[in-house]
Amino acid sequence: MNQISRRNISRLILLILLQVLIFKQLNIGSAQFNYIQVIIYPLFLMLLPIGIGKGWLLIVSFAVGLAIDMFYDSPGVHASASVFTGFIRPFVLQLMEPRGGYKVNAIPTKAEFGDNWFLRYASLLLIAHLLIYFSMEVFTLTELDYILLKTFFTFLPSMLLIIIYMYILNPRF
């Protein structure tokens, strides 16, 4: 097993532990305003190598979402959002591709492409992930205002913690 694989497995374990042991337990808000959650595990999918095959990306996305679902007792909700995130990731990367293209073994980090690039990339994927997650959670479009409010108020602390994670641990791969 090479260093990149070990690093990704360590990152996966850390993010799952943070998600289920700390962020699942957070109760931000009140009974009348329960729109705020913290979801950071999609960062693992964001930081996978750019050259990973689409099939492997979807399998890994499903496995990560299923692992989170087991801890949240939400059958398939996180898995569906994770698979969607894995599905659109190549399109987002293609949309944000630099002029010279990506290097063969590039990892989409702020160290590799810069702060602005990573912020836009992570924001797009996190918003997409959260929209699908809350849509699957409610499973009706009649609650569109609820879905959008939860997405917005979950995006802010989640993105803040993803940025803090990127600056503290500064992953290069």
For 45-60, the pLDDT digits (tens) are 999 999 899 999 999 9
For 106-144, the pLDDT digits (tens) are 889 888 898 999 999 999 999 999 999 999 999 888 889
- Classified as helix, coil or strand, 84 is helix
What tokens appear for 51 in the block?
């050259």
- Cα angle 22, 24, 133; round to 5: 135
Share of the chain above pLDDT 90, in %: 69
- Classified as helix, coil or strand, 9 is helix
SS (H, E, C) 152-173: HHHHHHHHHHHHHHHHHHCCCC
Per-residue model confidence (pLDDT) at position 170: 73
For 51-101, the pLDDT digits (tens) are 899 999 999 999 999 999 999 988 899 999 999 999 999 999 999 988 888
Share of the chain above pLDDT 70, in %: 94
- Does 32 score more than 80 pLDDT? no
Confidence (pTM): 0.91
